[in-house]
Amino acid sequence: MAAQRSEPGPDELPERVVSDFLSADTCRVALSILDERGEPMVVEDLATAVVAARDDVAASDVTDGDRAAVCEELYDEHIPKLTATGVLSYDSMLGTVTLLRRGLVGRGRA
């Protein structure tokens, strides 16, 4: 009997979707930070943490320009995709994101 390829369940994301998220450095680092923190984060604070992790600097050393660039990337590219797939929720009143699917960073990339 041949092995069948199982389709993802309703709560699982297809591997290609996860790989797409994890192939973008900013997205991968942001998901990792949100997963580690385990609580909602203000997008600007998340952007600061992403730059600090990416550049291996203290959060206090992140420039306004670098933070703004990552904020723009998060708002324009990553947050819409991540909310549409149920990975994040975004609260526009508070300007926060909450990770809804933990453990994605450990998936898809070795």
Amino acid occupying residue 70: V
- Domain assignment present for residue 73? The answer is yes
Q: Residue 80 is part of a domain; what is its CATH number?
A: 1.10.10
5-57: pLDDT as tens digits:
444 444 576 677 676 777 789 999 999 999 999 999 999 999 999 999 999 99
Q: Which 3 state secondary structure label does DSSP give 71?
A: helix
Residue 52 lies in a domain: yes
Contact yes or no for 87/108 (Cβ under 8 A): no
**Tell me: the pLDDT tens digits for 66-108?**
999 999 999 999 999 999 888 999 999 999 999 998 887 765 4
- pTM as predicted: 0.81
Number of separate domains in the chain: 1
Is the Cβ–Cβ distance between 40 and 98 less than 8 Å?
A: yes
H or E segment and range at residue 98: strand 96-99
Q: Is residue 4 part of a domain?
A: no
